[in-house]
Structures are given as C-alpha cells and as structure tokens.
Structure 1
Amino acid sequence: MSQARHHADHRTPIRLFSSRAAGAWGAVRRCTDGHLVPGMRVLPVLVLAVVVFVDVAGGIWLPLLAAGPALAAATNGPRGVLGAGLLATTLGAVLGLEHGVPAGELAVVLSSVLAVTAASGLASALRGRRERVLAAVRSVAEAAQHALLQPVPETVGPFQVAVRYSAAAAEARIGGDLYAVVPTPHGVRLIVGDVRGKGLPAVQSASLVLGVFREAAYDEPDLLSVVGRIERSLARNLGPDDFVTAVVVGHHRSGHLEVVNCGHAPPLLISAAGDVTAVEPTHPAPPLGLRALAGQAPRLQHLPFAVGDQLLLYTDGVTEARDHARAFYPLAAGVARHVSDDPAHTLGAVHDELLAHVGGRLHDDAALLLLRKRTADGQVPALPRTEVAL
C-alpha cells in the first residue's frame, strides 16, 4: 500500500474496487449465514486479474498480489489457497522481470506472497475444521430443539396459531425461551415462558417446564392446578436462584380466555378492529419457582375473547431489543402496523422489523406466539367456495 501513495493516478480505482469488493463480501456473508455461494470461490482470481491489469496499465502493484491467497483463505479450502498463491507468485515473477524490478526487491515481494500463502492455507484449514464442528453442533441443537419446541399446527380448535422463535446463540439455534400449544379435553392450553440464564442449564429448565406442562394440561381440569404442578416440579429441581417467568393461557368456556401471569411480560390483546391493548395482570404472581419465597399464589384472570380477536404472547428478548441508539423495540406499535387476519403473516412482518431494528442480530432469545379466534366455539369453519364454469 505504500507504493500506492506514489501513484495518485491509480489510487482511486484500486480503493473503489477494494471497498466495493469488501462490501459485496460482507453482504454475501450476512445473506448466506456463513455459507458461501459457488461464485465466491473465483473471487481471489478476479482480484489477481485486477492487480495485473492495473500493473500493466502503468503502475507497479506487485505487493497487492498477496491479496489473492489472503482472500482465498475465506472463500476456498487449503488447495484453493495454494493454487491462488502459486498463481500470484508466478504472476509476480513474470511482471517483476518485465518491469525490470531489482532481484533483491523482487525476492522480497515473492517471499511475502509465499508467506501469506502459507499463513492463509493454515487459516483455511482451521476455518474448515471449525465449520465442521459447527455443523455437528447445529445438527445436535436442531434435534434437541425439535424434541423440546415441538412444531405448532396452524390451526388448533377454533384458533389460528403462529410462532416465531430466534435464539441469541445463532450458531446453536436454541435457547432458554419456551412455548407450547396443547389441545386437551379441557380446551386449548398454551404457555410462553422465559428461563433465567442461558446455555445448557436454561435449556434443561425449559425442557422440565414443557414436560410438566404437557402432562398437566391433559390431566388437570383447572388451569391453576396446571400452574401448581409446574411450580412444585421446579421447586424440587431448580436451584435457589433459578426461576421461570411464564404466561399460561386456557380456553375453557365460550367467549373467554383464562390467563395466569407468573412474572412475565403482559400479553397484547388485538381486537378485531385492530386496537392493541396490554393485558396487565390483575393479581400479579411471582415467577415459577419463587412462590415459596414470595408467599403469593397466582390467580385466574378472565379475558373476553371474541371471533377475530388475537392474543400475542412474547418474551422479553422482543421488548428489550435495542437499536444502535439504545432505543427499545416498540412491540405494540409494530403489531398495530402489521396486524392482519393471518397470524403467520403478522408475525413474519413483526419479526423482520425486529431484526431490522437491532441491525440483524438479536442479543437475547426472542419468542412470539400469536393466537387468533377464527370461529365461534363448536362451529366448523366453512370450506372455500369453488365455482366451476361449464
């Protein structure tokens, strides 16, 4: 780069090319989540071609040939790096002899290219090893996630349901947030919760809560009894500083939902007209696992819920997501902007806006579950009408 300062007429094209190449590379890395498209493998050769073109046009840019193998470390395997290094060395020798570069200076340049090639080859081998380990970790994590967070059907009883989940540990794709929707003889029941902490201990606590919930939801006719069984199980198995915030919802009688809020963020009620209201708990209860310390028992909250109404449950990874100016994501306003009759479309738009708000990467696990009343209780939804032209 020091030689560039002595060739002002060639400095601008090279800088423009470098900045555009770097921007394109960053975009590809973000869009493909670390997986390279095949065309990126020839990028080192294109860089070498540009250096040769600029050199032939009137400047001596031989040190920039080292950019070829250096870039190949990020786009190719060790063989690709070696090939780019040999090509760069050959081109450097040919151009150096053509320009009459002193032998000592040419030897230094070629030695630098070879040294960069060796270092880049090692870096490429280490990158490939890390990618293989990461792929194995992702495979195990995805299997655990499928077992823990079972897929939610689009329709459950009289409801449409949609879920969006993002783990802060994107490499593992699993975290401490939890959700479940269970149709039972006592009506549809669902839970959204957030385990204190992160990593494997949080996943273990989440699996415990979901296991007890799925079992109790079928057995217990009373929603408070479901919450009580989860509380007793956590009291036996969690540490003294561990707890789980959760909202448990049940649909037992026509036109109403039963809500039990255990220290969790208040759900958002979206009316059929599109009005968004936070459902603050009338009788606040401590998080699950802390009832013995707080001495407060949860109580039922009855929520009117008519056809067309929607209920959004979420975790604090959504409302505590900050942008570069440290401003929180306005969830209620975002829901009001994107609400529709299709819960999956609504959550997709809100989730995309959330990621844009934080710049593409969440720093905490985030779960969104949207429930929409599509029909009256006991009513079978009408099939789409089909007209046939004869």
Structure 2
Amino acid sequence: MDARPVRPRTPTDALLPYALIAAVTGLDMVVGATILLALLAAPPALAAVGSAPRQVLLVGTTALLACLAAATVNGIPASQRAFVAYGAVVAVTAAGAYASGAHRRAEAHRRDAEEHRRRAERDLAAAQAVADVAQNVILGPVPARNGSLDLAVSCTSAAAGARIGGDFYEAIPVPGGVRVIVGDVQGKGLPAVTGAVAVLQAFRESAPAAGNDLLAIADHIEERLARRTGGDEFVTAVIADCSHTGQVTVVNFGHPPPLVRRADGTTRLAEPDLPGLPLGLPFRDADGPGTCVVRLRHGDRILFYTDGTAEARNRAGEFFPLQERGALLDRQDLAEALTDLRRDLAEYTGDPLDDDAALLLLRFAPTPADAPAPPPRPKTRMRPAPPARTPRR
C-alpha cells in the first residue's frame, strides 16, 4: 500500500467542480448545442479525487440539475441526447462516490496500520530497553584488561525483540589470571534464560574459591541444575583457566571447542582428545570431561563461542566456516573484531540467526609492566672494617 501522505484539499479544490459545471452549462446555453451536456459528467469525477462520498453526490446532483436546465433551455429535455447526458452524469456520480468511499476506507486503513506500526515500534523499543537492563544484570560486563589478558564479549539472541537468550558467558578475575565460562542452556526463551542465570550464579560462587580444580566448579553447577529441575536440564559449556603467563586450560562439557588464532596467522581448534558430556549429565561416570591445554604466545587470541555460531548455515545448508574466517579476529580492537565476525556471519546466512550466539574473545598481550617482579635480594649484614694497624718501629 502506498504510504505517501495525501495532500490536504484546499477551498479551491472544493469549488473547482462547481466552476466546471457553470462553465459547461453557460457554454452550452450560448452555443445551443446539447452535445456539450455530456461534459457535465466530468465534475463528479473531479470531485471524487480527495472528496467524501457525500460531496461527490452533491456535485453530481448539481451537475444533473444543470444538465436538465440546459436541456430545457434548448427545448429538448426529453430527447435521446438529453437522456444520454443524464445517464452519464448519474453513472459517473455513482462510480465517483463509490471510489471516494473506497479511497477513504483505504486511507483510514493505512493510518491505522501506520499507528499500529508506530505503537509496535514503541513497544519493541521498551522491550529492548528492558532486555538491555536484564542483560547487564544477568551477563554483566567483563574486564577489558586483566594483567596480560585483553577480553571482549558479544551476545545476540534469536528471540524477536530480545537481546538475551540461553547462551551465556562470564569472566572472573582470580589470582594469577581470569576464569572463563561460555555455554548454552538447552531450549529457548524464558526457561533457557532462567537456566543461564542458575549456571552463572553457581559459577560466580565457585570460580574464585575452586583453586586449581575446575571440576569443582562443574560439580557446583551440576548441583544447582539438579536443584532446579531434578536432573532434567543439561548445559553444554567450556570452563577455562586463563593464566597471565599465557597458559589456558580448557575443560569441555560437550561444547564447540574454542578457536585459537595465532599471531602468525595460523588457526586451530582447542579440541580435547576425549570429548566430555554436558553439565547435568553424569560426566564423572564416563571417562571424564575433555581437557585441553593451550600455550598462548604474545598476540595470540582464543575465541570462545556457542553453537549459534558454529552451526549457522547458509541457504545451501553449509556450515559457517569459522576457522577460515580467523583473520576477522586480527583487528587491534577486540570489540570491533567481534562486530566484524557477527556481520560476516549474518551475510553468510542471509537470514536472521535461528539460534542464540555468544562470543568471548581473549588476547594474550603481556607488557613489561605485567612481568613478575624479581625476588628481593637477601640482605647482607655489613661487618665493620677492622681498625688500621700502625706499623711498629
């Protein structure tokens, strides 16, 4: 439907059909040729453009009376030519009134649709504002710099009008580095969001106090999940201990492996030899979760992500080639690197994402100030110098 605004009618527009009636009637009476009477069907058609049906009928009635008056003056009020003129005026008036009514109804529908669109936009903006606040409360910011580590995060939701979903991330500074979790709760919508909240709460409680035992964090998360649903909920996740020395220990619970982007341009997956089961399933009853240790060098990066990125497909059904897109992570600004990756992902799929997508990018970039201070040198006790001997004579 054409959404262009309609020009408001002016007094000149309203008087123009009557002026045309007067001109045609006067010319017909002067010339005396009834052939001009058929032209009186034009004013109702002109009035139908932008006028209400009542105004069209008023103009048509005036034109019909003028046609009858002109035919009477010419002495042929009941002739065949006069009746053709009468019929033309009546037919055009009826058609004009119907068209005017249809146009009015369409214009009213357009205005209603426009108001509905604006109201929906206001509601969506309000929902997004609430979702932004919720995202800040649930996910929270991560430290952009901690020791020798730089971090950036991004999370988008597949739910219409939402900014959060079942995907989550967190990075908590601990002595000697940063402890990271990135994961995906089964399902979508509000149940997935509440599941993500439970996992994040358990991680925030246990990560600072777990020492070097990442499995203790996983046990605490599983206890929280079991209390929530009685063991009917599971979560895929990676928990990583990222040291200021560049060593990253990744424990994988059925989650896509992190992507390591070396400073020399090579790319590999931090894939464990033995894949682990998701949290919420008896991973300790199996062979244990998959563990992988990565040693980062200066400028190396590691990307943690969820299956919304790994399993995104184009219209041909092909998976997004994440490893081949590793160069997108080379930008100096990590947040801009994630923006480029999201944009490339959207262009590859050609459609909005049908799954949530969380990203956490970490770079190992030590500076001289990050180097550990040398141990203090032991203090030595100064002995007084022996008194000088005087030579014997």
Please, what TM-score do these two structures have when normalized by structure 1? 0.69
- Tell me what 1:350 maps to: 341
> Structure 2: how far apart are the matches of 1:315 and 1:88?
58
For 1:280-303, what per-residue CA distance to the aligned partner results, in whole angstroms no more than 9, with x for missing partners?
112321101112695443254322
Matched, 1:44 2:34: no
* Offset, 1:179: 0.4
Instruction: Say how many residue pairs are matched.
Output: 304
Which structure has the bigger radius of gyration? 2
> Structure 1: how far apart are the matches of 2:116 and 2:336?
41
* Offset, 1:272: 1.4
**Runs (4+) off by over 4 Å:** 91-94, 96-101
Alignment of 1:166-205 (within 5 A): 166-185=156-175, 187-205=177-195
Question: Share of identical aligned residues, percent?
Answer: 40
- Tell me what 2:322 maps to: 331
> Structure 2: how far apart are the matches of 1:331 and 1:292?
28
Compared CA separation, residues 329 and 377, structure 1 to 2 (3 A): farther
- Tell me what 1:111 maps to: 101
For 1:340-374, what per-residue CA distance to the aligned partner results, in whole angstroms no more than 9, with x for missing partners?
34322322211111111122511111111111001
Alignment of 1:55-70 (within 5 A): none
- Tell me what 2:355 maps to: 364
Letter of the aligned partner of 1:180 in structure 2?
Answer: E
Alignment of 1:68-107 (within 5 A): 89-90=50-51, 102-107=92-97
Please, what TM-score do these two structures have when normalized by structure 2? 0.69
> Structure 2: how far apart are the matches of 1:306 and 1:242?
38
* Offset, 1:380: 6.2
For 1:122-177, what per-residue CA distance to the aligned partner results, in whole angstroms no more than 9, with x for missing partners?
43444444344333322322221110111223212211112222111140111110
Match of 2:249 among 254, 258, 261: 258
Alignment of 1:233-252 (within 5 A): 233-252=224-243
Compared CA separation, residues 253 and 113, structure 1 to 2 (3 A): closer
> Structure 2: how far apart are the matches of 1:156 and 1:317?
28
> Structure 1: how far apart are the matches of 2:339 and 2:362?
14
Alpha carbons 2:176, 2:244 under 8 Å: kept? no
Matched, 1:160 2:150: yes
Matched, 1:281 2:272: yes
Alpha carbons 2:270, 2:292 under 8 Å: kept? no
> Structure 2: how far apart are the matches of 1:255 and 1:240?
36
Compared CA separation, residues 110 and 45, structure 1 to 2 (3 A): closer
Letter of the aligned partner of 2:174 in structure 1?
Answer: T
* Offset, 1:119: 2.9
> Structure 2: how far apart are the matches of 1:298 and 1:253?
24
Compared CA separation, residues 268 and 338, structure 1 to 2 (3 A): closer
Unmatched runs of 5 consecutive residues or more in structure 1: 1-17, 22-40, 53-86, 382-390
- Tell me what 2:71 maps to: none
Letter of the aligned partner of 1:251 in structure 2?
Answer: C
Q: CA RMSD in A?
A: 3.3
